[in-house]
């Protein structure tokens, strides 16, 4: 995701998912994990409740993004090839 897209996504998460208050949100450059990609992954460090997970899923699906759920965090990223470097 581009930085402007991340800003829009984060605004929606803050506005629509109050259960995530107190969570740690970090931006990870995609190239740190996948050298051929540009943009960012959003990492939300929290033990996410069922309600908050449902809220996140709606937002992520609405932006055509992918969400990877881990034990203590959620990673949101763009998997489309349009974000690849030439």
CATH number, domain with residue 56 = 3.90.1070
Look at the chain and report how many structural domains it folds into: 1
Instruction: Specify the pTM.
Output: 0.81
Tell me what pLDDT residue 30 has: 79
Average pLDDT over residues 57-72: 93
**Mean per-residue pLDDT, 32-44:** 79
Closest C-alpha among 54, 47, 43 to residue 9: 43
Q: Residue 46: is its pLDDT beyond 50?
A: yes
pLDDT tens figures, 12-35: 999 999 988 889 999 988 776 666
Question: CB atoms < 10 A from the CB of 13, how many?
Answer: 21
The strand ranges marked E within the chain are: 24-29, 40-45, 66-69, 73-77
Share the mean pLDDT of the chain: 86
Average pLDDT (69-80) is 87
In sequence order, the 6+-apart residues with CB closer than 8 A to the CB of 40 are: 1, 2, 3, 6, 27, 28, 29, 30, 77
Domain that holds residue 31: 3-83
- Distance, in Å, from the CA atom of 47 to the CA atom of 53, rounded to the nearest integer, reads 10
Record the tokens describing residue 82, joined without a space.
Answer: 């349009």
């Amino acid at each position: 995701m581009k930085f402007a897209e991340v800003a829009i996504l984060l605004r929606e998460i803050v506005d629509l998912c109050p259960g995530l208050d107190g969570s740690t949100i970090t931006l990870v450059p995609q190239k740190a994990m996948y050298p051929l990609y540009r943009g960012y992954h959003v990492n939300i460090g929290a033990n996410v409740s069922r309600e908050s997970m449902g809220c996140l899923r709606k937002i992520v699906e609405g932006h055509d993004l992918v969400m990877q759920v881990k034990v203590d965090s959620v990673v949101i990223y763009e998997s489309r090839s349009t974000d690849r470097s030439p």
